[in-house]
Structures are given as C-alpha cells and as structure tokens.
Amino acid sequence: MAVAALGIAMPSVRVTARQEGAVDVDGVDGAFRVLATTRPRLARALERGLLSGALAAVGAPASIAEIPDVPGRLRVRPTATTTATKPAGRVDARADDHEAGVRRTKRVLAGLQPGEVVEVLAAGPGAPAAFARWADRAGHQLISVERTVDAHDQPAIRLLLRNGG
C-alpha cells in the first residue's frame, strides 16, 4: 500500500521480490534526479526517507538497506518495534528559515545520546533537502520525511533525524 502510494512522486517504484520477512523494492532511485547529479548521497538519503516515511505513515515502520549487487534495489524489512524512532527531542522550526531550523536542531541533537532521534517540524518545499544536506555533512541520519498536521491541524513536514554522535 505504501509503496503504491509513492507512485505519484516515483512512478517506477515497485515491489520486485518477496521473501520471508522482507520485500525488495526497485524504482525508488530517480525521484531527485537533478540533485543526484551533484549530490548523489543526499539524493539517495531523501529517496530512502520518502520510502521510510510512507511506510511509517501506514503503520509499517521498516528498516531499509541497499542491496550491494543490485544498483537501485532496496531491501525493506518491517521493524519489530517503533522504539528506535521514538523522538527523544523535538524542534518546531516551521516559523524559522531553514538555516535557523538547522541550528536549533543541531543544539537539540548536541544534548542527545548517539542513536537517539529528534523530531523536526518544518515548512516549505526546501526543508527536507536543507535538513538532509546538513545531516549528511554532520554525520547524522535522516530516517523519515512525511507530511503531517499538528494537534491544531496546522500543516508541517515531519523529519526524524538520528544522532550520529
């Protein structure tokens, strides 16, 4: 269901193999083609973040890994628990420009242990890319990107970032 929903942003996404406890997904790469020409690692992180967010949104949090011998193919395994992505910190950066939001997030992550997760609520079309660029450079991991609404029905882009230490 989540993989099919990604068809809007990634028309070629599809499940190519099923095995016990995992599925292989192709076609996720290419959603950020322009970015991939200059920052391929960032493009891959955003693509994986979209897939992770889509799965989490339908209640199916999963780990995602590249399959080394098959370029562009990802192995998706359901996670037994969502504890690993339970936020230890939160930043509402919707009123900030992207740079200020990144600085606030950096301060929150500095107070967390390696592996702990911070939830960031951001706004604007460039927010996921700005946070992903910074996380990539700083050694953190963008693990989820999704559109959401807060308790007051205000729209937000929800990002989960794992502290790389």
pLDDT of residue 156 exceeding 80: yes
What letter does residue 96 receive in the DSSP assignment? S
- Cβ neighbours of residue 31 closer than 8 Å, sequence gap 6 or more: 9, 10, 43, 46, 47, 50
List of E strands, the chain? 14-19, 22-26, 62-66, 74-78, 87-92, 117-122, 141-149, 155-162
- Cβ neighbours of residue 122 closer than 8 Å, sequence gap 6 or more: 93, 94, 98, 101, 128, 131, 156, 157, 159
The answer to whether the CB of 120 falls within 8 A of the CB of 93 is yes
pLDDT digits (tens, 9 = 90+) for 56-70: 777 777 888 888 888
Of 21, 4, 119, 117, give the one whose Cα is nearest residue 76: 21
**Token code pair at residue 149:** 């609404």
How high is the pLDDT of residue 82? 44
pLDDT of residue 29 exceeding 70: yes
pLDDT digits (tens, 9 = 90+) for 112-148: 998 899 999 999 888 999 999 999 899 998 988 988 8
How high is the pLDDT of residue 8? 62
**Token code pair at residue 63:** 């780990």
How high is the pLDDT of residue 25? 86
Question: Which one has a higher pLDDT value, 78 or 101?
Answer: 101
How high is the pLDDT of residue 120? 97
Q: Which pLDDT band, with edges at 50, 70 and 90, does 72 fall under?
A: confident
Helix 127-138 / helix 40-57 crossing angle, nearest 10 deg: 120
How high is the pLDDT of residue 5? 60
Of 64, 112, 110, give the one whose Cα is nearest residue 86: 112
How high is the pLDDT of residue 80? 60
**Cα first-last separation, the chain:** 34
How high is the pLDDT of residue 83? 47
Q: Catalogue all structural domains in the chain, each as residue range(s) with its CATH number.
A: 2-78 (no CATH), 83-162 (3.30.110.40)
**Token code pair at residue 109:** 């992550």
Question: Which one has a higher pLDDT value, 140 or 71?
Answer: 140
